[in-house]
Amino acid sequence: MDYTQNNPIPVPLEGPSWEVSSTIQTVFDWRYALERKNIMNLYEKGKALSWNASDIDWSIPVDIEALMAQRIRNGHGQVLNGVMKPPTPLNDKEMMQFQLNINAFLLSQFLHGEQGALVATARIVQSVPWEEAKFYAANQVADEARHVEVYHRYLTEKLGFSYPCVPSLATLLGRIMGDPRWDITFLGMQIMVEGLALAAFSVTRMQMADEPLIQDIITRVMGDESRHVAFGVLALERLYREEMSSTDLREREDFVIEATELLRERLLLTPVFEQLGFEPEVWTEWSRNTPFMRGFRQLMFAKIVPNLKRLGLLTPRVRAAYEKMDLLKYEHGKDSIEEAEPPPPTELVELLMQFMQAQAVATAPSTASS
């Protein structure tokens, strides 16, 4: 696919490429038993539902600034100031720039996470011991390449600006790729990173309902990602519940807790505050503690928690850590086998309804009393 990179992705200070050292085993499966029929069924579904990035209508114009400006004229900024309670109320111009940058930041992290998934899934092909998992992972590699392609084109050709990979995400990707154990690749990428991405995609799709091109992109990507997360659950469930020693399982608990902390850090938006010239320490503290932003971060784990429960990883140690993070309220939700694509988060729907009602009141013409 040929497109013009009007606004190239910023290169991190560390340089244009990044090397992660690791030693892993390459595993051949000479049995070809193909006994895991659930994974084979997922493989067939993935092949049937494959799509081409060139099928997207890239001629659709994108003017996010005009969309945000219209929202501001409709009272969006005033209502958001009331809902988010930022350290300093933002005027209309500041609120528009804030929203534009948050949108660009999140989409940029989608891109970087997809490259991480591309590399990690290629490793799964090499290291997983069952042929049927190699089949599906190979199909997923093609999916991830498409996802990198569409997000990169949207950011560089359509959106106008972007952000480098946030340090916390880079740290987690390095942790996943630096570990030689194949199941950590599954756990870190398929369950944690892509589980959070599914929720983030759902939220972004709701927030950008008036932008048809990103709606098409995210809907296509979510269809793939829901299968990817299900693949991780199917591949790991028996291993963690029946086959792994308590010592090895404790190491997976440590990894889950560490990954969760890094993923929450990813959502603090510190690079956005730095870009806008806001005081990073003040605004990061606000992002960490204000009820609205805490709730937003918690929503991102709505699929991860029930998936960990299904895997047997919502252990007492993980539960204690998640209780401190106020994430256990999602443990009774449907996992990715019961419900492939997550529904819009209930809390966000309620919040948007409150926002729409408040906006209607703010923009309604005043009626003179008789």
Predicted local distance difference test score (pLDDT) of residue 345: 57
Percent of the chain with pLDDT over 70: 92
Beta carbons of 255 and 189 less than 8 angstroms apart: no
Is 70 exceeded by the pLDDT of residue 349?
no
Integer CA distances (angstroms), 202 to 32, 86, 91, in order: 37, 24, 28
pLDDT digits (tens, 9 = 90+) for 119-173: 999 999 999 999 999 999 999 999 999 999 999 999 999 998 999 999 999 999 9
Predicted local distance difference test score (pLDDT) of residue 11: 85
Q: The tokens of 247 are what?
A: 């010592």
Q: Give the Cα separation of 58 and 161 in Å (integer).
A: 17
Count of CB atoms within 10 A of residue 200's CB?
22
Predicted local distance difference test score (pLDDT) of residue 89: 93
Over residues 286-308, mean pLDDT:
90
Is 90 exceeded by the pLDDT of residue 294?
no
Beta carbons of 154 and 103 less than 8 angstroms apart: no
Return the beta strands (E) in the chain as ranges: none
Over residues 195-205, mean pLDDT:
91
Predicted local distance difference test score (pLDDT) of residue 370: 38
Q: Give the Cα separation of 77 and 68 in Å (integer).
A: 9
Q: Residue 125: CB partners within 8 Å, gap ≥ 6?
A: 134, 137, 138, 141
Q: Give the Cα separation of 221 and 16 in Å (integer).
A: 26
DSSP 59-113: TS---HHHHHHHHHHTTHHHHHHHHH--SS---HHHHHHHHHHHHHHHHHHHHHH
Predicted local distance difference test score (pLDDT) of residue 359: 54
355: confidence class by pLDDT, cuts 50, 70, 90: low
- Calculate the average pLDDT of the chain: 91
pLDDT digits (tens, 9 = 90+) for 98-110: 999 999 999 999 9
Max Cα-Cα span within the chain: 87
Count of CB atoms within 10 A of residue 149's CB?
18
Is 60 exceeded by the pLDDT of residue 40?
yes
Domains observed in the chain: 37-48+62-362 (1.20.1260.10)
Rg (CA), the chain: 21
| Residue positions counted in the chain | 370
Beta carbons of 304 and 336 less than 8 angstroms apart: no
Is 90 exceeded by the pLDDT of residue 12?
no
Beta carbons of 78 and 362 less than 8 angstroms apart: yes
Q: Give the Cα separation of 257 and 252 in Å (integer).
A: 9
54: confidence class by pLDDT, cuts 50, 70, 90: very high
Predicted local distance difference test score (pLDDT) of residue 331: 94
Q: Give the Cα separation of 334 and 320 in Å (integer).
A: 21
Q: The tokens of 215 are what?
A: 């709606």
Over residues 312-330, mean pLDDT:
96
Predicted local distance difference test score (pLDDT) of residue 368: 46
Over residues 54-70, mean pLDDT:
94
3-state secondary structure (DSSP) of residue 340: coil
369: confidence class by pLDDT, cuts 50, 70, 90: very low
Q: The tokens of 82 are what?
A: 């009331």
